[in-house]
Structure 1
Amino acid sequence: MKTEAKVVHLNKVASEQSHTSPVGRLPVALTQVRDKAAQQLKQALQALFDNADDTLFEMADRALSNPEQNTFFEAMRDLRLKRKSIERGFLQNVFEAFVALNQYEVGKPAALDGLSFDSLSLVQNDELEESVALDAMVAKVMSRDGLAVSHLTTRMNVLVSKKLDDRGNPLGPSALCGFFLEACSSLGVEIRVKLIILKLFEKYVLADLEQLYAEANQTLIAAGVLPELKSVPLRRNPGRSAPGRVEAAASMSAHAGGIGDEEVQEVFGALQELLAEVRGTVAPRRPAPAGAQPISSNDLMRLLSHMQQRAPAQASDDFDLREQLERLLGRASAKSGKARVVGEVDEDVINLVSMLFEFILDDRVLPDSLKALIARLQIPMLKVAVLDKTFFSRGSHPARRLLNEIASAALGWGEHDDSQRDSLYLKIEQVVQRLLNDFVDDPLIFSELLADFLAFTGNERRRSELLEQRTRDAEEGSARAELARRQVELALNERLLGKKLPEVVVRLLEEAWSKVLMLACLKHGVDSSEWRAALATMDDLIWSVAPHEDPEARLRLLELVPGLLKALREGLASAAFDPFSTGEFFSQLEVLHVQAFHRFKRMTHESEQAAEPALEANETAVANGAAEPALLALGAVEAADEPAMVEVVEEIVLGAPEQAAVPEPEASLAVDDATLAQVDSLRVGSWVEFQEDEEHRLRCKLAAVIKPTGKYIFVNRTGMKVLEKTRMGLAVEFRRNAIRLLDDALLFDRALESVIGNLRKLKGA
């Protein structure tokens, strides 16, 4: 019996490593890996550009028209001019990615280019072609060097503070393709030229990554980082005779993943060891008839294909794959007259896959309707596991990735969605049906379906990200408007509350000048000269209509009014205030100012004489068009009726253009309440499920936290806003258990981890 001597306990190793460096500083071993890789990548890029001219020239030579030929010639010229900057940008991206490994990253929304509706379709088509090409390039590298990449990622995780996966590995194919695309963003070339450049990148850079990964792993092994993880060299034997279909598929898959037979058996053997201790407990076995012979994997595949063609349209808890297979095997044995059973290795595979799918059917993260679809993949997944044992050990296995990608895409799918018309549901159904109909014993169908599904979800994701960004922008704009509105309310209340003023002035300030203040606050901020000027105009207006007994006030009023009226007109015009209402306001203001000057007539004769030079200056200004014509007749106008006065006794509250109903008062929780800590732990991008009532649940993603207003904005999987909550409101939801965080970890990995954990518990019991 095997022991656990070969099991590598990563947590123990990580804790014992002395290589881990402080945040922000790379360990020496990782610096060596980076520098060696950068040198190889630099040489590979130089080879790319050295050959790019010849390739583009050949394409130009084969062009069918002059415009097409010019396109390639322009691309050659552009590439020559920007070659150095692309090389420099690519390597800079690699270095920055390594630096970020020991830095904590603050989540921020994805930056999206502004797109018009007219160009959106074209841009999406170009991006779709680009995405499909990138996915194919990455898949090819992972199928060839997947194990080496996985080992490198595992070793890096021991040395750095940030949790890495293969996609986040700075030397992984996905990251390198992203770095190259970003470096080439300045190229003004068409999509067909960009695809040619990407093919050159694949040929001259990605094709040589096997050596890069081998050297990087060797460098870390030499530094003592997880030397137990050993990659077995590829073993190719072209002179080999053609094996059986099943054996050939298994051999091909193992070699494609860079995993040798020895390592496959080691990983699968560890799983078998766990199963051996509980065999008959987890999966009860019927006693085998005397003299029963195990069937071959080829015969098992034929039985599974028979079951696959007759699988029920809807998976249910009553469907037991092991029981169905035993019945089918019993009928086959009775028909042939020879007692046959499933071999021990194949039986272990069946038990493992059955337990994995039991986890899937019990998983609360997957919606029930999509869970039923995914459950129908049990037989195809069992068949591929029989063909290829790396299904259990290789995270990049196409079948395993397909299952994970389907589950990830289904995370935001709600039960209320119309499955008959929903594109995601129909796409998953198409994938499932294709596997049930077409998968016999060629595992390459999983790679084909994976590439197609990634292209579909990539297109869906780009659309949702665009709408999500627009939702964020709208909410941030609304928050800025809300803050500006509060500033304007504060300014108005400081100046008006408790004062008795002409009604027309109060209305002018509240209805009209508040818009000028809003505009100044939004465009320039409260520290700007524009904001201060708008406040000063408001102060001058209030002073100009207030009663004054000081004779010197007449001098100031004479000097103030022309500029004041000019500032009011310009401000209201900039805020696009209704011209008719503006005219009404100014007519009444002129009356107020005339009355103010009549009050000054009752002052002493000495005061009038002191004011005479200023009056003459004002009349000169009026003659030159600098003041309102109404002031020409100040001495001739009889005192009008006293203006209607109003005392401002309540705080002024400006209504928003689309102000929602006042929310109900929320419960107040203690500052140290545990549910508030749960809210604070939410991160942008987290998926949650709200229990709206006994029957309805809402799945949504936290798209933004608008700090000025304290709003948490949630969107559905299409990027459309479906809910907004305050911090306290979310805490109350947590307190009454009406909100649940959805685990977005990979489905297969969660299932496998659960199965292994359960087997270990049973073994220790």
Structure 2
Amino acid sequence: MPASSAQTSLLDQARLFYAERLVKEFQAWADAALAGAQVLNEKPAERTVAQQRRDMLQDVMRHGAKWPGQLAARIRQHVSTAAAVTTAAPPPPASLAGLDLKLVDDDTIQHEILVSRLAQGVMDKGVWEYNDLRARLLALARQPELNDNDLFRTSVLAQLVIEAWTDSGLALETWRGLEEFLVKACAKPIEGVWKEVNKWLVEHGVMPEVDLRGAIRKSDGTSTSPGRLDEVPPTRGSAASTRFADTANSPPSMPMPAATGRSSAYGPTSFSGGGMVRGAQGGGTPTGLGGAAGAGGPGGSDPFGSGPRPPQSILHGHSIEDETRMMTRQAAAGGSARADIVLEHFSEVMERHLPGFRDTGNARPASAKLSDAMNQAQQRLVQQAGGPAGDGAVAAGGPTPEVLLQELRERQVALKAAASTPAERATVELVALLFQSILTEERIPAQLRVWFARLQMPTLRVAIAEPDFFSTADHPARRLIDRMGACVMGFEGGGAEVLGTPLEAEIKRVVQVVEAFPDTGRRVFQTVLNEFEKFLEGYFREQNEKSRAGISLAQQVEQRETLAIQYTIELRKLLGDVPVHDGIREFMFHVWADVLATAAVRHGPQSAEVKTVRAAASELLWTASAKTTREDRAEVIRRLPPLLTTLRQGMASVGLAAEKQDNAIKSLNLALTAAFSARAQLISPQQLEELKERLEMIEELLPDEDVEIDESWVLDSSSHQQEGLEIVADGGSMPGPAMLQWAAELQLGAAFMLEYRGRHQSVRLVWQGMNRQLSLFSAPDGRCVLFQKARLAAFLQAGLLVPLQDESLTVAATRTAIEKIKADPARLLG
């Protein structure tokens, strides 16, 4: 039923109030864009990334000042037409037969992806305020849902923000590069604006008390009974998935389908000519989508209820499966930021139920009674595991996860009884919830879960003394649990590969060290975390049979490529002022430097093989000098066949294909023909002698420090495949700066699913080279796959290399704890 005129007027006033409050924030957004661009520009980076960052800074400096004005104009124009939209009846569903269909271009797709991520980022920050605001607006408008183009929808606001950005002359690529700064700058003040609009509406008599129970629907379509608002689970983002729909506009308890795996909640999509077909006005349902969506709910109804339909953008003409995979990777790339969002949301929930939770300034160690109870609980855990060394019970199979959980609950009751303050009782409950989630994680081998269980009391002790444990993902206690979890999850066959290995022994040692220093807190966790990181490097390199040989080969590849670059640099110096044919120069720099490096790695820098390669370089330079006498030409004819044989052997030693060898010899023949006919420039005997001497001591001229391999360097896979490595030389999609950064931040031991050369296989990151430019992954069958960083980022971008762990162990446990606290807040103090 349409709203009355008085209500419509009040709604228009609220929208105007909202718009004017927003406009006041726009200049700060522009300032944040400039500051973010400057921060990125000042960070050290590879040459390609550094150039992209300079371009972004210049783009913001040239056009950024226009953005606030463009955005304010768009917002005010949108508000000026809102009255007609508010009173208009919703349009009837469009039939596919009546739509003017067209292909969606790539720019539109990228635009809509950025809009979706901005809307989700804003929603993640202020979901509680928005839920209250939306309830008041719907009550005021007397409608079941906000209109599709209502400014109060986060998707509409995000659309206007991005459109104003491009209208100002700013590039979408610049937005992508600065997205982390921009989303944060936009999201934080909007929560305050929503709060002010809520206050304004209350002052005008609109729903002083908000109860959203009537909006929550069970699976059978009925509404829930009235209850407290803080028990309503809000819609939120997930680090494990990126939502397709505008979750801010769905009912508070209506989660959007997750974009995970190879399936889609939206069903198949039809394509024409490689692109997706949709209505020309952007409002129609994609071909093939309506039926699938309609079949999703009971009785064939819309599975989203009164919520929005999924967006209609599909990446680059691929299927929804491809978009899902792509957007999931983008979500994972921002895992650190999303972990912060989860923890911040957790803090907000806790502050509602336990005022003062965020105030960490008055934190104190555990009370004497609780400390004694923790010591007794720890002693029982140690005895249960067969004593301090972990023999006995664990060796015989140890307690089952069910037994561990039962005893965790019993400990929880005893510890709460010993707690002397509400804060201590709440902390006991929170840590218990975290470890309950960890101990039910089936991807951790059952025999190892007892060692994670033994970390509960040390973690509880540090959580009481250092409440920032709950607010930051970087706390060493969290990081230690996450790193150990990542290294034991993802194994096939229940983790048999890790049981009985030095990795299992190191996990036991780490736990025992933490137990031995119960009062050291953060320092002991940080110490053992550092030790564990160092252990992993040596473990995969020296003790793991599946990865040891592959790492040795990868190190040789890195050494060879680094030497090749060094040789090239020195050869360029040597030939800088020497009149040498360009074909000879190119051969020396691009081919023979690699031959020199390969010989040095395989046989040693002073070996006979290296001396032969150096002598061939001197001989080639002599042959390429102009020959003006009959004797010199006769000498060339005599010495050329063995020289060509040596050159062929050298090129074969580095795995150069026969066709490439032929092309190189043809290029050299042109230079040698010019020299033979005296058309080439003459190199004096003194210059030749000096070149020969310097080539003989070229290894001594190489710099002692490692040469940095940047992204402009491309690894030639054909030179190494015969060495037992699979070097990834193609595949994936063009990565952006965020993906390159993600590739550089991957941690040893993390497990992934790799799709390469027709095989889907679980692999584990076992080695990273200098500056993380090379990364080696090992499979359970011993297969070793080597990536250069840019190619690794390309595979991550395309979803061909997918983390088996969507988010860290403690972040996933925190998310579960949030849900349980919302369902039963009384458990915190009970």
TM (norm. structure 2) is 0.32
Answer with 1 or 2: which has the greater Rg: 1
Which structure is richer in relative contact order (CA contacts within 8 A, separation 6 or more)? 1
